[in-house]
Amino acid sequence: MSATTLSFTHRFLPPTAPGRPPLLLLHGTGGDENDLIPLGQAAAPGAALLSPRGQVLEAGMPRFFRRLAEGVFDEADLRRRADDLAGFIAEAREAYGLPAPVALGFSNGANIAAALLLLHPQALAGAALLRAMVPLRAPPRPDLAGRRVLLLSGAMDPIVPAENGQRLAALLQGAGADVDHRTLPTGHGLSQADLTLVRGWLAAP
């Protein structure tokens, strides 16, 4: 939708309602820049939407960083890709005149958003992390004071163990973030409850 050439292939939908923070939409494995647009529109009607496509391909499926196996991340690649994504956010903010966005990420997109919070805390105003895992074995301890984080885990998620989601919540809280961690009666996929909770969380003052 955007004619602006930036470092990531992306879509940008300008805001139609004043006062809502922009959303940075970060898709899961196999998604693209179109994947979470409907979720963003439903969760934050009228907000600006910035939706990049991950630059890594795994069996032809876009991702935001490489993994070595299910749940085992290539951390050197993750750090480099987080740097690249932070650079893209800065480019897009300048190009489109945006304040710092709130990330709305699912699965692989939620994991890169969690990495951004830890490695580039200035890039995001907050984050809604859907089925996220701890992204780094030895994460830094940034200052996340004033940043709100919604973490939605699935009780029957075969990919993200319950203790991993709890560990991520504790890690972000320990860095000063205001974390709301909920575990839903679902698996790894998204549910109507996710949309309801994200919409309510975004609308809260």
- Let me know if residue 61 belongs to a domain: yes
- Let me know if residue 117 belongs to a domain: yes
What residues make up the domain containing 168? Answer: 10-203
- Let me know if residue 4 belongs to a domain: no
- Let me know if residue 169 belongs to a domain: yes
- Let me know if residue 3 belongs to a domain: no
| Residues of the chain falling short of pLDDT 70 | 1-4
Is 107 in the active site?
Answer: yes
Q: 65-79 pLDDT, tens per residue?
A: 999 988 889 999 999
One of 10, 35, 157, 194 is an active-site residue; which one? Answer: 157
- Which residues are bridge partners to 58 per DSSP? 61
Task: Tell me the C-alpha distance between 174 and 176, whole Å.
Answer: 5
Structural domains in the chain (count) = 1
| CATH number for the domain that contains residue 79 | 3.40.50.1820
Q: 35-52 pLDDT, tens per residue?
A: 999 999 999 999 999 999
Cβ of 27: how many Cβ atoms within 10 Å?
A: 27
- Let me know if residue 2 belongs to a domain: no
Is 188 in the active site?
Answer: yes
The predicted pLDDT at position 20 comes to 92
- Let me know if residue 143 belongs to a domain: yes
**85-90 own/partner pairs: CB under 8 Å, 24+ apart:** 85/8, 85/52, 85/112, 85/116, 85/123, 86/116, 86/119, 86/120, 86/123, 87/7, 88/6, 88/7, 88/8, 88/10, 88/52, 89/24, 89/50, 89/123, 89/124, 90/123
One of 107, 120, 143, 178 is an active-site residue; which one? Answer: 107
Is 27 in the active site?
Answer: no
The model's pTM: 0.96
- Let me know if residue 1 belongs to a domain: no
